[in-house]
A and B are shown apart, each in its own frame.
Chain A
Amino acid sequence: MTDLSNLYQDIILDHYKTKHHSGLREPYQVEVTHVNPSCGDELVLRLNCSGDQIVDVSYEALGCSISQASTSILTDLVIGGSVSYFLELNEGFRVMLEGHGTIELDEDTYGDAIAFNGVAQFPARVKCAMLGWAALKDAVIREQAKGEGSD
Chain B
Amino acid sequence: MLDVEKIRGDFPILDRVIGESKLAYLDSANTSQKPRQMVAAVEDHYLHHNANVSRAMHTLGAEATEAFEQARAKVARFIGAQPNEIIFTKNSSEALNLAAYTLGSRLGPDDEVVVSVAEHHSNIVPWQMACERTGATLRWFDVTDEGYFDMDKARDEALINERTKVISVTAMSNVLGIGAPLKQIVAWAPQTAVVIADGAQLVPHQPVNVADLGVDLLTFTGHKMLGPTGIGVLWGKSEVLQSLPPFLGGGEMIEIVKMTGSTYAQPPHRFEAGTPPIAQAVGLGAAVDYLSQIGMDAIADHDHQIIAYALERLREVPGLRILGPTSGDRGSVIAFTLADIHPHDVMQVLDSHGVAVRGGHHCARPLHERLGIQASVRMSAYLYTTKSEIDALIDGLLDTLRFFGASTILGASTPGVPS
Contact = CB atoms under 8 A, between A and B. Distances in A.
A125 B347 CA distance: 11
Contacts of B169: none
Given A17-B408, A64-B342, A40 B348 contact: no
Interface in A102-139: 122, 125, 128
A46 B54 CA distance: 60
Contact of A65 (B19, B360, B404): B404
A13 B405 contact: yes
Interface string B306-350: 000000000000000000000000000000000000111100110
Interface of B: 19-20, 342-345, 348-349, 352, 359-361, 365, 368, 374-375, 403-405, 408-409
A66 B344 contact: yes
A87 to B, nearest CB: 28
Interface in A1-60: 1, 3-4, 7-8, 13, 17, 38-42
B352 A1 contact: yes
Interface of A: 1, 3-4, 7-8, 13, 17, 38-42, 62-66, 122, 125, 128
Contacts of A13: 404-405
Nearest to B376: A40
A22 B365 CA distance: 25
Contact of A7 (B342, B348, B361, B365): B348
27 contacts: A1-B19, A1-B352, A3-B352, A4-B349, A4-B403, A8-B345, A13-B404, A13-B405, A17-B405, A17-B408, A38-B360, A39-B343, A39-B344, A39-B359, A39-B360, A39-B361, A40-B360, A40-B365, A40-B368, A40-B374, A40-B375, A41-B375, A65-B345, A66-B344, A66-B345, A122-B348, A125-B348
Contacts of A65: 342, 345, 404
Contact of B345 (A1, A3, A64): A64
A8 B360 contact: no
Contacts of A41: 344, 374-375
Contacts of A128: 344
B43 to A, nearest CB: 30
A113 B100 CA distance: 48
A39 B375 CA distance: 7
A13 to B, nearest CB: 7
Contacts of A42: 374
Nearest to B361: A40
B365 A3 contact: no
A8 B403 contact: yes
Given A17-B409, A41-B375, A64-B345, 9 more contacts: A1-B19, A3-B352, A4-B348, A8-B403, A40-B365, A40-B368, A41-B374, A42-B374, A128-B344
Most buried by B among A3, A42, A64: A64
Complex A-B, nearest 8 residue pairs according to Cβ-Cβ distance, in ascending order: A64-B342, A64-B344, A39-B360, A4-B352, A40-B361, A65-B345, A62-B374, A40-B375
